[in-house]
Amino acid sequence: MRLPLIIALNFVLSALMISYIEWFKQDEANLKALNSTYIKDIEKLEKISHINQWLESRVIPNIKERLCEAEEADKNLIEFYDLNKEAYNLYINKYIYEGNDTKNMELSYDISTHDKTKLIEFLMLRQETRFFQFKELCIDNNRVVGVVEVAQPCKKASYVSQ
């Protein structure tokens, strides 16, 4: 009587093992699918982390440096003009006007080609808090003339800086 019981037990255990195999297979497939989603999410997060690093080390400090209030931006532009009008023969083409998150001023300039130091200094003029956008530059034998737009980034009323 014991043998039939053992046989029955063996078959039941075999059936149980088969169902375990099926269960393991199905669960493994689910885990693999979940893992691939996790890996994609990890890759995304790693990418975000890299972008964050770049934002935090390069972009955000830059924004903090350049951004100022609108009134301060006006003052900066005026200060720039007053400081450099004689050196580069600056002439106001367009007085302070609003750009896209910037305050701008369009100036024309006139520099002698013989004064190479000043010319190079002017061409390399890049200040930390503002941008220079050359619109025109003409060089002939004696003079360098053209138009440059000075842009001062400033805060928008709607955005609160971090």
Measured in residues, the chain has a length of 162
Residues in 126-155 that interact with other proteins by CB under 8 A = 131-141, 146, 151, 153
Stretch that binds other proteins, among 10-18, 69-77, 83-91 (CB under 8 A): 10-18
Give CB contacts under 8 A, 24+ apart, made by 87-91.
87/118, 87/122, 88/118, 88/122
Quick note: the x/- pattern for other proteins over 27-56, rule CB under 8 A, is xx--xx-xx--xx-xx--xx-xx--x--x-
Asked whether the beta carbons of 70 and 133 are under 8 A apart, the reply is no
Residue 20 in contact with other proteins, rule: CB under 8 A: yes
131 burial (CB, 10 Å; 0-12 / 13-18 / 19+) is: middle
Judged by CB, which is closer to other proteins: 81, or 132?
132
| Closest CB to other proteins among residues 87, 120 | 120
Binding to other proteins by residue 17, rule CB under 8 A?
A: yes
Total residues binding other proteins (CB under 8 A)? 55
Place of tokens 């003009």: 81
Contact 102, 69 (CB under 8 A): no
- Our finding on whether 14 is near other proteins (CB under 8 A) is yes
